[in-house]
Amino acid sequence: MELSSSLFGKLLKRTRTAIPTGAMFNVGITIILAVLLMAVFAPLISPYDPTRATPDILKPPSSSHLMGTNQIGQDILSRVIYGSRIILMVVLSATIISMAVGIPLGIYSGFIGGRADRTLSMVMDSIYAFPSLILAIAIASVLGPSPLNTAISLAVVYIPTYYRMTRGQTLSLREQLFVEAARSMGAGKLYIMRKHILPNLLPTVLVVFTLSAADAIITEAGLSYLGLSVTPPTPDWGYDLRAGQGYFTTGYWWISFFPGLMITLLALGFALVGEAMGEKISIASK
């Protein structure tokens, strides 16, 4: 199957919709900022120590425990607040690594072409076609469970996303007039890549960043749900959801529900911002 053209780009270009772009962006950015603030000020705003077990077990949401307590009496709200730290840290650091590897490789591949490009594309496309969660499980299983290792496996999984997007964009930029002009004036390849290609990639990089961050959040939560990220008693959304799962069906829904909701909400925030920016770009390029 032809995987080299960015599907993503195609999706973005054709989308014109009934939902105002501005509203999507505002809702999305509000969610992201709220979670970010939550993570930064966790010690200030969380009502209890998230790791301390108390005799108040399995208490439903009330005024003293807004999201209730879990089976060992920890305050869910405090765990949700602290839990934002791990997921944000893992996803953001993974993304930075993916970008740092994927983008230069993509520019190189798209600009230089030739055999290196073909080989690299084939490898990246193969990884891209592989189920990302399973790949992440493979890596995390060898490295052992820890947030750092989760970040490394996520980074590997998302390198092809950035590579493919960058390569595709570079290919089209390469043909454009200003690059031609720079080349005819004798500019070196490295200079052109840095001065002409990289800056023009930025808008798309932003869109891909937000959309793949949404995806990475789900994958990170999946890994920690499967027990491949943190070890107790560290508060973590995916892990906490798993820990409360057995209680969910017996009526203690709040233990798992709130961490699960946060995972989806945070992913939604990034997805909405990505959608909105994608639409803006596609309109601007028309």
Partner 1 sequence: MGSLARYLVIRALAIIPTILILYTLVFIILRILPGDPILAVLGTKNIPPDQLENLRRMAGLDKPLYIQYFSYLFNFLRGDFGVTITFPSGVPISTYIAQRFPATLELAICGFIVSIVIGLGTGALAAVKKGTKIDGALKLYSILAYVTFIPLLGMVLQYIFGVYLKWLPIAQRIDPGLAPSSVTGLYVLDSLLTANWAALRSSVLHLILPSITLGIVLSGAYTRLLRNNMVEVLSSDFIRSYYSRGIRERKINWYALKNAFLPVVTYMGLQFAILLGGMVLTESTFSWPGMGTFIVERLDYRDYTSIQAAIIFFAFIVGLISLIVDAVYALLDPRIRY
Region of residue 109 (left: phi > 0; alpha: psi -120 to 50; beta: else)? alpha
Among 29, 58, 253, 281, interactor with partner 1 by CB under 8 A: 253
Task: List C-alpha distances in Å: 204 to 92, 116, 188, 243, 254.
Answer: 18, 24, 24, 38, 39
Among 100, 122, 190, 283, interactor with partner 1 by CB under 8 A: 122
Whether 57 and 255 have beta carbons less than 8 Å apart is answered as no
Among 91, 107, 241, 277, interactor with partner 1 by CB under 8 A: 241
Q: Does position 14 bind partner 1 by CB under 8 A?
A: yes
Whether 248 and 76 have beta carbons less than 8 Å apart is answered as no
Q: Does position 116 bind partner 1 by CB under 8 A?
A: no
Q: Does position 155 bind partner 1 by CB under 8 A?
A: no
Q: Does position 276 bind partner 1 by CB under 8 A?
A: no
Q: Does position 141 bind partner 1 by CB under 8 A?
A: yes
Q: Does position 17 bind partner 1 by CB under 8 A?
A: yes
Give the closest residue to 36 by CA, choosing from 77, 92, 76.
Answer: 92
CA distance 245 to 233: 16
Q: Does position 261 bind partner 1 by CB under 8 A?
A: yes
Instruction: Kindly state the smallest distance separating residue 83's Cβ from partner 1, in Å.
Output: 13
Helices marked H in the chain? 7-14, 21-40, 42-45, 76-112, 114-129, 132-143, 147-174, 177-184, 189-192, 198-225, 237-248, 254-284
Task: State the number of binding residues for partner 1 (CB under 8 A).
Answer: 58
Among 123, 148, 190, 283, interactor with partner 1 by CB under 8 A: 123
Give contact residues for partner 1 (rule: CB under 8 A): 1-3, 7, 11, 14-15, 17-19, 122-123, 125-134, 137-139, 141-144, 214, 217-219, 221-222, 225-228, 241-242, 245, 248-251, 253, 256-257, 260-261, 263-264, 267-268, 271-272, 275
